[in-house]
Amino acid sequence: MENLIDIRDYPVRDVLKLLLKDKSTKKNILFATDAYDGIVPEEPITEAVLLGFDALAIQPRVKKSLDAQAARTRKKGEVFTPVWVCNKMNNHCDAEWFGRGNVFNVEYGEDWMPTAGVIPFKNAKGWKKYVDSRRLEITCGEAPYIVSRYDAATGEPIGVERRVGILDRKLRVVNENVASENEWLTWATRAYQSVYGYEFQGDNLLIARINLLMTFVDNMRFRWDRQPTLSELKKLTNVIVWNFWQMDSRTGATPLGAPPEDNGQLSLFEELTTDAPKGTPCKVYNWRSRKSMTFAELKEGMIGPKKL
């Protein structure tokens, strides 16, 4: 199998610093796992730490050792979700939205065949409503329901035309309905603004963010036969980092309490408290109204789904 994640290569290397940011704390996301030797869960993930790792350290679950996989399942309930399962569930959601089945593909057991031709919509604005419709993957891990660059169970890469993730479907619709690069960039960005996910473990979250970034690169190459510019990568990465965030789902806040102060050190007269501070309330962004809100506000219904 090829390396599915490479933090030292384009495009990840160009925006790695941005991919590590936490919009809620304005610092870096935390490891929130003890899977790496010499790393404590409360430690922030930095470029320096990552680049000091072996090149294959940050990889999807399927590329990790069987012992590491078992440990992550035991401690965090982390499991594989085969791509055919993601496809079946996403097909069910689309059947509800469209009022018909077999919109994007036809299933054959654990395989599928993409539908031929342009996806039909009932009216001229139908495809735009689909692209703008909001979707959230809870405890998203590597985000297999959002993007399907590879089968999470086997690591087998999947070509753009056969992908089955929620965002993959939206990008197919954009690819089929726009005629210019500028319009494509506008609607591809809106597609990214419409998908959300949260995850506890920082390495999983980073992989999810990278998978979304690579999906953008793959689709631009597929549709326009070019690579995104650095400016385009940065703009898109900002959306990804806002929409895919680190959170303890039990509290709606960042994991493991508040992040430590930079270069903080106890003085001679200070005592270390045994009470863990509460985490920072997690924020999400409303791209239509251009303002942020806490996840707790969203969850409590202070902002209804039609406004988000």
- pLDDT band, residue 5 (cuts 50/70/90): confident
pLDDT value at 185 more than 70: yes
Q: Hey, is 28 helix, strand or coil?
A: strand
The count of other CB atoms within 10 Å of the CB of residue 128 is 16
> b vs e for 243-282, b when ≥16 Cβ sit within 10 Å of the residue's Cβ?
bbbbbbeeebbbbbbebeeeeeeeeeeeeeeeeeeebbeb
Nearest Cα neighbor of 218 from 274, 157, 127, 271 is: 157
What does the domain layout of the chain look like in residue ranges? 12-257+277-299
Residue 149's closest CA among 137, 165, 133?
Answer: 165
Instruction: Give the model confidence (pLDDT) of 253-306 as tens digits.
Output: 999 876 555 555 544 444 444 444 578 999 999 999 999 999 988 877 644 444
Write down the pLDDT at residue 273.
Answer: 44
Mean pLDDT of 48-55: 83
- Among candidates 287, 196, 210, which has minimal Cα distance to 20? 210
Question: What is the DSSP secondary-structure string of 128-182?
Answer: HHHHH--EEETT-TT-TTT--SB-TTT--B--GGG--SHHHHHHHHHHHH--SHH
User: Is residue 258 within 8 Å of residue 280, measured between CB atoms?
Assistant: yes
At residue 244, φ and ψ (nearest 5 deg) are -125, 105
Confidence of residue 162 (pLDDT cuts 50, 70, 90): very high
Which has the higher per-residue pLDDT, 74 or 240? 240
Per-residue confidence (pLDDT) for residue 305, from 0 to 100? 46
Structure tokens belonging to residue 4: 């599915």
The per-residue pLDDT for 176 is: 97
What is the C-alpha separation between 157 and 154, in angstroms, rounded? 9
Percent pLDDT > 90 in the chain is 70
Query: 150 has which bridge partners?
Result: 157
Give the mean model confidence (pLDDT) for residues 6-11.
92
